[in-house]
């Protein structure tokens, strides 16, 4: 049975989808699946018996990731398919390779859009082409694969689509003018898409992971401004395996928001706005906690502004001292 839900027709509850779990032979496609959170999501799904399509640009990393995922097999019928393609450049090419994957492993039951990159730096110091590049990878790199699977999902009246955003897609922080904008865009896409596909029993999940110990974070830290580093240090760094478990659980349950830890829960409640809720209880919790969380958030924002001011003052004092010498 391939269906992610207990019924192949739209659920009757207007808020909460039917409870379900991954079952063997579900086809899960993961973009950005060669490393980091994407690879860990693939492993988590493979442990539950799913068939996996890994999508990424680097063929050598894909081959290595395939070997790591296959170690988690629970039966000898499972398959890991690798596709080397840039999901942000050519929609027709993305559509073609996704079609090939579906011909081999069956229709995609759950698409996880995890391909992404991060750039940090002061607004005027980030090359304008980096703004374009981030929007292509982080936003269009999610639009194209989703377009490639959504029609089939609607025809089958079932499916899950996951967009991996970031906590920087919930609030803008110093140094993330390019990155935050591309991650904020995913939420707008997800909210509009969820309204379109919900009658077809398709549920969208947006994940907002905090800083996570991935190759992307390691690369970003090499050029991260001091202010951004100090602000980031106010919260810890999560492990990709932990984040992956949360994302898979929330996606399978049909939750729109997926967050990690107390800070993540608070941010999701604070920034819920007009986002869909999965249950009446979730909505009531947001209403009750909004005032308290807003108070806490104001203290956080005050401390972030203080960090930025101190760094600016120290930098100006250092420049003045250099001039005197």
Comparing CA positions, the residue from 79, 95, 59, 33 lying closest to residue 244 is 33
* H runs (alpha helix) in the chain: 36-46, 59-70, 91-105, 128-134, 141-156, 177-197, 215-221, 226-232, 240-253, 261-270, 280-324
Q: What are phi and psi of 159, to 5 degrees?
A: 150, 165
CA distance 234 to 231: 6
Q: Could you tell me the CA-to-CA distances from 270 to 101, 121, 165, 235, 290 in Å, in that order? A: 39, 26, 16, 17, 6
Query: Among this protein's residues, is 179 annotated catalytic?
Result: yes
Beta bridge partners of 161: 111, 204
Match 């991060």 to its residue by tokens.
118
Strand 51-56 vs strand 80-84: parallel, antiparallel, or unpaired?
A: parallel
Annotated active-site residue in 144, 176, 179, 208 = 179
Query: Among this protein's residues, is 249 annotated catalytic?
Result: no
Beta bridge partners of 83: 55
DSSP secondary structure letters along 75-123:
STT--EEEEE--TTT-HHHHHHHHHHHHHHH-S-SEEEE---------G
CA distance 50 to 52: 6
Six-digit token string for 3? 């269906």
Query: Among this protein's residues, is 183 annotated catalytic?
Result: yes
Annotated active-site residue in 183, 208, 224, 232 = 183
CA distance 169 to 231: 15
Asked if 104 and 208 count as a contact pair (C-beta separation under 8 A), the reply is: no
Angle between helix 36-46 and 240-253 (nearest 10):
60
Question: Which residues are known to be catalytic?
Answer: 165, 179, 183
């Amino acid at each position: 049975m391939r269906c992610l839900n207990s019924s192949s027709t739209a659920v009757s509850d207007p808020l909460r989808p039917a409870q379900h779990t991954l079952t063997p032979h579900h086809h899960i496609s993961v973009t950005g699946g060669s490393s980091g959170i994407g690879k860990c999501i693939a492993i988590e799904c493979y442990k539950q018996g799913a068939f996996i399509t890994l999508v990424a640009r680097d063929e050598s990393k894909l081959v290595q990731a395939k070997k790591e995922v296959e170690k988690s097999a629970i039966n000898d019928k499972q398959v890991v398919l690798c596709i080397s393609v840039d999901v942000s450049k050519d929609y027709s090419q993305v559509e073609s390779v996704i079609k090939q994957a579906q011909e081999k492993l069956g229709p995609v039951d759950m698409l996880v859009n995890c391909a992404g990159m991060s750039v940090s730096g002061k607004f005027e110091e980030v090359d304008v082409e980096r703004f374009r590049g981030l929007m292509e990878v982080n936003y269009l790199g999610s639009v194209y694969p989703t377009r490639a699977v959504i029609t089939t999902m609607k025809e089958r009246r079932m499916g899950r689509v996951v967009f991996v955003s970031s906590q920087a897609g919930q609030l803008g922080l110093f140094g993330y003018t390019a990155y935050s904008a591309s991650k904020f865009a995913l939420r707008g896409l997800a909210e509009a898409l969820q309204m379109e596909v919900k009658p077809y029993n398709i549920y969208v999940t947006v994940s907002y992971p905090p800083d996570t110990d991935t190759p992307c974070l390691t690369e970003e830290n090499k050029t991260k401004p001091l202010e951004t580093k100090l602000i980031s240090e106010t919260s810890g760094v999560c492990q990709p395996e932990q984040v992956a478990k949360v994302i898979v659980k929330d996606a399978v349950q049909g939750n729109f928001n997926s967050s990690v830890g107390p800070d993540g829960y608070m941010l999701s409640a604070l920034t819920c706005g007009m986002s869909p809720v999965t249950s009446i209880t979730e909505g009531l919790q947001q209403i009750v906690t909004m005032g308290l969380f807003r108070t806490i958030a104001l203290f956080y924002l005050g401390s972030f502004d203080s960090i930025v001011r101190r760094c600016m003052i120290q930098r100006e004092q250092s420049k003045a001292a250099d001039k005197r010498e």
